[in-house]
Structure 1
Amino acid sequence: MAGIKYEIEEQIGVVSESSKGWTKELNLISWNEREAKYDLRDWAPEHEKMGKGITMSREELKKLRDILNDMDL
């Protein structure tokens, strides 16, 4: 992604892995030198490429956790 700087501050966990080696990961990432946010997206094996994803603040991640905990899975 041209023009976008990012730094993975913490790799939290891998949700899944594709047959081509891409992983869906939850990480704490600083985008364009801003405050880090939680980020869920697909990554190529060496983090050289990324897919589309979503970013969430700590409060949004807590709310998502609460929603998931309330689901009957």
Structure 2
Amino acid sequence: MAEIKFEITEQIAILSESPKGWTKELNLISWNGREPKYDIRDWAPNHEKMGKGVTLTEEEFKKLKETLS
């Protein structure tokens, strides 16, 4: 299986933290060198591991914000 490369280009918010230190975060992430997208997922301390998450384009993120307002 190919290695997935990522770069957190902007840490926007920590939404919650579990007793084990994992945090649910909203970040802008570049996956495999592509244009950064909004991303919500759980992260281990120091971002050494990640859980499953949701990645949104700019348009999807704007629609979500609009829907929640």
Match of residue 60 from structure 1: 60
Q: CA RMSD in A?
A: 0.8
- Give the aligned partner of residue 26 of structure 1: 26
Letter in 1 for 2:9: E
1:11 matches 2:34: no
Q: Partners of 1:45 and 1:68 in 2: how far apart? A: 29
Q: Offset at 1:33?
A: 0.5
Unpaired runs of 5+ residues, structure 1, are: none
Structure 2: runs of 5+ lacking an equivalent: none
Q: Deviations over 1:1-58 (max 9, x none)?
A: x600000000000000000000000000000001110000000011000000010011
Asked which structure has the greater CA Rg, the reply is 1
Q: Residue 51 of structure 1 corresponds to which residue in structure 2?
A: 51
Where 1:46 maps in the other structure, the secondary structure is: helix
SS, match of residue 65 in structure 1: helix
How many correspondences in the alignment?
A: 68
Q: Hey, which bits of structure 1, 4+ residues long, moved more than 4 A?
A: none
